Each structure stands twice: as C-alpha cells, then as structure tokens.
Amino acid sequence: MDNKLLSVDELADYLGVPSNTVYQWRKTGKGPRGYRIGKYVRFRPDEVDAWIDGQVTA
C-alpha cells in the first residue's frame, strides 16, 4: 500500500468487510485507528497493516 489515507469504504474493500463493520469497529474501539479529517474518517495504511498483523492468533 502507498501512503494515501484510506476512506472507510476503501478500508472496507481492502479488508473485504462491509463499511458498517468498519463503523462498528470504530464505535467499539476494536478496529484500526482512524483519524477524523473534517467530517471524514481516514486510516493510515501502515497502521492498518500493523493492526492486521496484531490480529494473528495461535
């Protein structure tokens, strides 16, 4: 991934989940860290990848 910030829809597409799931994760604090930019929520690709790496379970 490049350093372009991801929108909720782009993140959902990248992870293969519905956009509503991303919003629920934000609400419950379970998803990758998001940043409010004006009225939009954006995600840093490197933080998303780190969050994915942290989801690995034995």
Within a domain: 3: no
Condensed to tens digits (0 to 9), the pLDDT of residues 19-55 reads: 999 999 999 999 999 999 999 999 999 999 999 999 9
Tokens 């940043």 locate to 35
pLDDT greater than 70 at residue 2: no
Within a domain: 32: yes
- Provide the whole-model pTM: 0.86
Question: In terms of residue numbers, what domain contains 13?
Answer: 8-54
Distance between alpha carbon 8 and the CA centroid of its chain, in Å? 7
Indicate if the alpha-carbon torsion angle 9, 12, 52, 31 is positive or negative.
positive
Within a domain: 46: yes
Helix, strand, or coil (residue 42): strand
Within a domain: 2: no
Number of domains forming the structure of the chain: 1
Cβ atoms within 10 Å of 20's Cβ, excluding its own? 10
> 33, 41 in Cβ contact below 8 A?
no
Integer Cα distance of 22 and 57 in angstroms: 20
